[in-house]
Chain A
């Protein structure tokens, strides 16, 4: 292992990697338009991310940022709103000024043609504007997607450079609405202009899944139904809806987390090896594996809704229904466990368990493969199942839980792990935020970590029947206490389909001992 690279060395290397790539022309002019510049996402995520990329010299020098929203704002007002989220040090003050010097703001109405003509005129007036490449980030509520996209197409497309449109979820709320939106978008833009963000695809460990699977010989022969007993994909948050339950109530946990983030991770774990690492080859495999998954059935689902913990402090005392913005008597689920099956040669019969929830006992997102028992055991049934765990957050890590001789004078087996904890092994490496990676990918024209239209369609196909059933029948979700592990019925389900929870093992961070 070489000495850790300094920050500028890292970014120097990356710049080289990027600029050697013919798709990324350093000298072109780029304009990044933030639609919804006055909103939360813009000030908390987009502007800060752009600033970090700009600061680290990862964006082409000739990049201009244009904010657009209904409010009557100025760049200074935007700057003030963003500052708390920008993480600027004293030494960077000058660079920050340079960043904001490239920023401008236009106000207008989302449904109004004239506003967009004005926006276009403004962009043309920027230095190099007519030839510039244009990235449109829709940091907007879905209600205005139709209008905004139509107007962008009609008034704001660059004629000389390329155009890319970045959209955030929700992409519809079921198969039909999603297809409508997709059809609308494809009538306006080609697939290679559409960048649907699932920010989990920008996370270090999620991006690592492909390298782990396809770059290592040892995993090849065991990555299938012969050796894998089950796969568990988990997302847990330790806090509730925090006063924004009203918005959440329209969607529920399945639309919020399961149908996208967890399903994406499932794809990366289950897919076949692609023909190459080009975006479409990779996404082809993801779509292929999704097609083998039938819609999940109600009997393989457990739904929960958190209630307050009387002994808890602060927020923990409040249940979902205590949130004043949540409709009275709502049966919306804040927790769900579902079991999916991939009906193909590699995975037939292997349960893929997706578990997600708010107001649980910890913050955690991970992928866990549990392997089958050792056949022909000679250790008196003392061996527990091997597991390969990829911890996405917090504390990125990979570890293989396995059996070893109990160290010391004994001879029998006990559990241990082969471990790779990033903050120990890669102490000096800066792991970028998911958005930094993804926005950079848009500049480079790499769509590998964005959701393609057919991918999206398949994801909705799998979940729509059950979502409709839930919306119609309004089953009462099982109550669970804020800060607990969720309803025990979820553990029952998971055990019933084949996951063995030994309870004897606790991962020990060897670097903390």
Chain B
């Protein structure tokens, strides 16, 4: 079958998205970027809106309004964003059309009249009175309270719908998160609140549901009888790169583990939902989270990277060498923690979450390691099966298993059944996570956004540990920039049941 052209693909998608919602499609939509002058806006939000616009995935009648304190113009915004927008050379006409729909307002986040002015501006746009409104808070959390209150008081559309998009951090522990959620619940309904965890926009993470629930093969083995352990990994090969000061207030557990890794764990561990409607799916995620007790300190390893004397450039610098990091900081840049899901399906199976900066590679993956073959007849030469879903880089799924050593031999050796996306789906464009997610907001699909009770459970699980670490000022174990992290982490995972054979390397 010939691969579809770009416009055919998006034509199909438009039909899928808007097929039975013609009325909504033809309404006016206004997308308001609060914090339009910031990093996130210029590197991610504006470019993403541009790509969606260019591919015809946004409703025809769309306006984009930037809002920040700075004294900016659309031209200045354009100049700031252009380096991050791709494909602009061939699409100059489209690009002009895009920026023609852009406007900018400056104002103060904590001042009501700024938002009154914003509202007037929104209402003055063609179709603005009845338009649907999406508010993207690309802002530091310190101003959430003010901004959300002001949006509610001054900027809601009376005729169209209103949706508010938030980025993490959502608080820094259970209490602060609940305060924020309570505040938001006062102002907006759950179906207006879109909390972004961008991992939920990634191809392979979205694939987890289809893999699990669309395949008969996996049904009978997806439980404690066959699964020895689950390992969820996130590794970055670089450090804090001069922004350690910001990171220091959070640490790796809040940055990666409590959200991205825990989300992937939910998708792996949850029961099959009643349907694929967002609330049915999120109900199952909340249900499985409720079965997870806070991890024990004994099941956690914390690390902090130090410079590699033999390394080049950044690699020479440790976390504490970053001038923005407070002297003697104990904030971990690496953590491994073991969680248990105490339900019928998973009781006793370790869910190992591992994440870190300044490690030896860039990788995010989900790995199910299966139990040994009972009643082995191959003289103990069989290694455990593993199902691996590589989220990034190089999206892939592979099944590590035993086969007869090919050729004249008869004994077993490891091999894999493999699905590597860039080979199998050479011509398919995999969209950026933000493209998918922003499109979901337009469509009103909350499946890949974090619900309030989901968030509460995620904090419930990690808050005791976080408080304990901070109270005790627990010293993280040093590890060299570019290494695999502290060996104590390997010890931990082996102790709880992961078997690392070391004999196998995936060949794709």
Contacts of A217 in B (CB 8 A): 221, 226, 370-373, 384-385
Q: A400-B399, A409-B439 are in contact. Are A211 and B378 (CB under 8 A)?
A: yes
Nearest Cβ on chain A to B219's Cβ, whole angstroms? 7
Is B206's CB under 8 angstroms from A411's CB?
yes
Contacts of B10 in A (CB 8 A): 409
Is A430's CB under 8 angstroms from B397's CB?
no
B217-234 near A? 1/0 per residue, CB < 8 Å: 101110001100000000
CA distance A409 to B443 in the complex (A): 13
Chain B CB within 8 A of A222 CB: yes
Is A386's CB under 8 angstroms from B371's CB?
no
CA distance A379 to B416 in the complex (A): 28
**Among the listed stretches B124-132, B254-262, B271-279, B347-355, which one makes contact with chain A, having 4 or more residues with CB under 8 Å of it?**
B271-279
CA distance A511 to B57 in the complex (A): 33
**Among the listed stretches B29-37, B60-68, B311-319, B421-429, which one makes contact with chain A, having 4 or more residues with CB under 8 Å of it?**
B421-429
Interface residues of A in 474-493 (CB under 8 A from B): none
B176-214 near A? 1/0 per residue, CB < 8 Å: 000000000000000000000000000100110111011
Closest to A373 in B: B216
Q: A408-B430, A419-B417 are in contact. Are A207 and B410 (CB under 8 A)?
A: yes
Is B417's CB under 8 angstroms from A422's CB?
no
Chain B CB within 8 A of A226 CB: yes
Is A404's CB under 8 angstroms from B210's CB?
yes
Chain B CB within 8 A of A432 CB: yes
**Among the listed stretches B293-301, B325-333, B401-409, B492-500, which one makes contact with chain A, having 4 or more residues with CB under 8 Å of it?**
B401-409
B350-394 near A? 1/0 per residue, CB < 8 Å: 000000000000000000001111110110001011010000000
Contacts of B213 in A (CB 8 A): 374, 378-379
Is A436's CB under 8 angstroms from B408's CB?
yes
Name the one of A208, A227, A399 contacting B404, with C-beta atoms under 8 angstroms: A208
Is B418's CB under 8 angstroms from A420's CB?
yes
Contacts of A411 in B (CB 8 A): 206, 276
Nearest Cβ on chain B to A344's Cβ, whole angstroms? 18
Chain A CB within 8 A of B18 CB: no
Nearest Cβ on chain A to B245's Cβ, whole angstroms? 37
Chain B CB within 8 A of A346 CB: no
Contacts of B382 in A (CB 8 A): 215-216
Chain B CB within 8 A of A274 CB: yes
Is A508's CB under 8 angstroms from B424's CB?
yes
Contacts of B462 in A (CB 8 A): none
CA distance A508 to B423 in the complex (A): 10
Is B403's CB under 8 angstroms from A402's CB?
no
Name the one of A221, A378, A403 contacting B275, with C-beta atoms under 8 angstroms: A378
Nearest Cβ on chain A to B17's Cβ, whole angstroms? 9
B424-442 near A? 1/0 per residue, CB < 8 Å: 1110111100011001000
Is A386's CB under 8 angstroms from B377's CB?
no
Q: Point out which of B10, B217, B426 has the most chain A C-beta atoms below 10 A from its C-beta.
A: B217
Nearest Cβ on chain B to A513's Cβ, whole angstroms? 5
Chain A CB within 8 A of B291 CB: no
Contacts of B420 in A (CB 8 A): 510
Is B408's CB under 8 angstroms from A14's CB?
yes
Is B203's CB under 8 angstroms from A1's CB?
no
Q: A14-B408, A211-B402 are in contact. Are A425 and B215 (CB under 8 A)?
A: no
Is B13's CB under 8 angstroms from A410's CB?
yes
CA distance A276 to B375 in the complex (A): 9
Is B412's CB under 8 angstroms from A513's CB?
no
CA distance A369 to B233 in the complex (A): 33
Chain B CB within 8 A of A125 CB: no
Is B424's CB under 8 angstroms from A378's CB?
no
**Chain B residues bordering chain A, tally (CB within 8 A):** 75
Contacts of A417 in B (CB 8 A): 419
CA distance A379 to B214 in the complex (A): 7
CA distance A398 to B213 in the complex (A): 23
Chain A CB within 8 A of B76 CB: no
Contacts of B436 in A (CB 8 A): 409
Chain A CB within 8 A of B161 CB: no
Q: A221-B226, A273-B377, A409-B13 are in contact. Are A385 and B410 (CB under 8 A)?
A: no
Nearest Cβ on chain B to A31's Cβ, whole angstroms? 23
Is B403's CB under 8 angstroms from A420's CB?
yes
Nearest Cβ on chain B to A204's Cβ, whole angstroms? 6
Name the one of B276, B406, B410, B419 contacting A416, with C-beta atoms under 8 angstroms: B419
Nearest Cβ on chain B to A302's Cβ, whole angstroms? 28
Chain A CB within 8 A of B159 CB: no
**Chain A residues bordering chain B, tally (CB within 8 A):** 74
Contacts of B203 in A (CB 8 A): 405, 407-408
Chain A CB within 8 A of B507 CB: yes
Q: A277-B378, A422-B406 are in contact. Are A400 and B217 (CB under 8 A)?
A: yes
Is B225's CB under 8 angstroms from A221's CB?
yes
Is B221's CB under 8 angstroms from A221's CB?
yes
Q: A222-B220, A408-B429 are in contact. Are A204 and B406 (CB under 8 A)?
A: yes
Chain A CB within 8 A of B247 CB: no
Contacts of A510 in B (CB 8 A): 418-420, 423-424
Chain A CB within 8 A of B9 CB: yes
Contacts of A410 in B (CB 8 A): 12-13, 16
Contacts of B238 in A (CB 8 A): none
Is B220's CB under 8 angstroms from A405's CB?
no
Is A386's CB under 8 angstroms from B215's CB?
yes
Is A418's CB under 8 angstroms from B398's CB?
yes
Nearest Cβ on chain B to A225's Cβ, whole angstroms? 12
Contacts of B276 in A (CB 8 A): 378-379, 411
Is B399's CB under 8 angstroms from A211's CB?
no
Contacts of B216 in A (CB 8 A): 222, 227, 371-374, 385-386
CA distance A373 to B211 in the complex (A): 14
Is B412's CB under 8 angstroms from A419's CB?
no
Closest to A282 in B: B377
B70-84 near A? 1/0 per residue, CB < 8 Å: 000000000000000
B1-40 near A? 1/0 per residue, CB < 8 Å: 1000000011011001000000000000000000000000
Is A378's CB under 8 angstroms from B217's CB?
no
Contacts of A431 in B (CB 8 A): 406-407
Nearest Cβ on chain A to B394's Cβ, whole angstroms? 13
Is A408's CB under 8 angstroms from B373's CB?
no
Nearest Cβ on chain B to A434's Cβ, whole angstroms? 11
Top 9 nearest A-B pairs (CB, nearest first) are A418-B417, A215-B402, A403-B214, A405-B207, A208-B404, A221-B220, A211-B404, A405-B210, A371-B216
> What would 7 more interface pairs be, CB under 8 Å, given A217-B371, A385-B216, A408-B429?
A207-B404, A211-B412, A218-B221, A227-B217, A402-B211, A404-B397, A419-B419
B interface residue numbers (CB < 8 A to A): 1, 9-10, 12-13, 16, 57, 203, 206-207, 209-211, 213-217, 219-221, 225-226, 272-276, 370-375, 377-378, 382, 384-385, 387, 395, 397-399, 401-404, 406-410, 412, 415-421, 423-426, 428-431, 435-436, 439, 504-505, 507
Q: List 10 A-B contacts (CB under 8 A).
A: A215-B412, A216-B373, A218-B221, A371-B216, A398-B403, A398-B417, A411-B206, A413-B210, A418-B399, A425-B415
A interface residue numbers (CB < 8 A to B): 1, 10-11, 13-14, 17, 58, 204, 207-208, 210-212, 214-218, 220-222, 226-227, 273-277, 371-376, 378-379, 383, 385-386, 388, 396, 398-400, 402-405, 407-411, 413, 416-420, 422, 425-426, 429-432, 436-437, 440, 506, 508, 510-511, 513
